[in-house]
Amino acid sequence: MSGVETAPDGLPRCPWGMTAESMADYRAYHDTEWGRPVRGDDALFERMSLEAFQSGLSWITILRRREGFRAAFADFRIAEVARFTEEDAARLLADTRIIRNRLKISATLANARLAAQLAPGELEALIWSYAPDRADRPAPRSTADVPPVTPESTALAKDLKKRGFRFVGPTTAYAMMQACGLVNDHLADCHVRAATEAAAAS
């Protein structure tokens, strides 16, 4: 039984975000970003940071503030965020464009400093080293077939924690893996799944 839902445009999509109040915001993200490979240290740092801010909240809350986050955090350029001061932290706590959570802001700045100590490309290599073999993952038929955590996300979270990274537990790590294309969790009958697979193979 297919778990997709058909949108007003007639295309079958994964059911998350298909409520009337969020569909317009989610549609472009679902169709053109989610599940497609993300490369580059800064781009992956952005996704890691946004997933951490999402913890305990809905993704739509983050998605609607993403441009505000980018403006507040220097487009998530690791080298720049790593130089943020206590004054910058205070500025962020007062910035209504983002989620003003002291612990998450502190973790993002600390994570940037750790990432800045890595060699260029090392963060990307670290994260992608935990991508599972796609041949071993059948396409999910419904959201019930999509796990909240996997052995790979648990191992990635453990590795990051060992290096000092914060707010990246197994569930958050798996959400990042889904968003960044390390896995393809578009449902089997979702109209985007084939294009997402092709993007991963290119």
Catalytic residue positions, numbered? 29, 51, 59
**DSSP SS3 for 13:** strand
- Distance in angstroms (rounded) separating the CA atoms of residues 113 and 72: 17
β 12-13/5-6 pair status: antiparallel
- Distance in angstroms (rounded) separating the CA atoms of residues 177 and 183: 6
- Other CB atoms within a 10 A radius of the CB of residue 8 amount to 8
- Residue 99 is classified by DSSP as -
